[in-house]
Amino acid sequence: MPEPSLSIQPAGAAHLPALLGLLEGLFSLESDFAFDAAKAERGLRLLLERGDALVLVAEVGAEAVGLCSVQTLISTAEGGPVGLVEDVVVAPAWRGASVGRRLLLAAEHWASERGLTRLQLLADSGNAPALAFYHRMGWSDTQLVCKRRMLQR
Site for ligand COA, rule CB under 6 A = 26, 29, 88-90, 95-101, 123, 127, 129-130, 132-133, 136
CB of 87 to ligand COA, least distance (A): 7
CB of 48 to ligand COA, least distance (A): 20
**Gap between the Cα atoms of 87 and 45, Å rounded:** 14
CB of 130 to ligand COA, least distance (A): 4
82 backbone dihedrals φ, ψ, rounded to 5°: -135, 175
Based on CB atoms, which residue is closest to ligand COA, 29 or 73?
29
The CA–CA distances, whole Å, from 84 to 15, 64, 67, 87, 116 equal: 21, 22, 14, 9, 10
- By beta carbon distance, the residue nearest ligand COA is 100
The CA–CA distances, whole Å, from 18 to 25, 40, 62 equal: 11, 12, 10
Based on CB atoms, which residue is closest to ligand COA, 80 or 126?
126
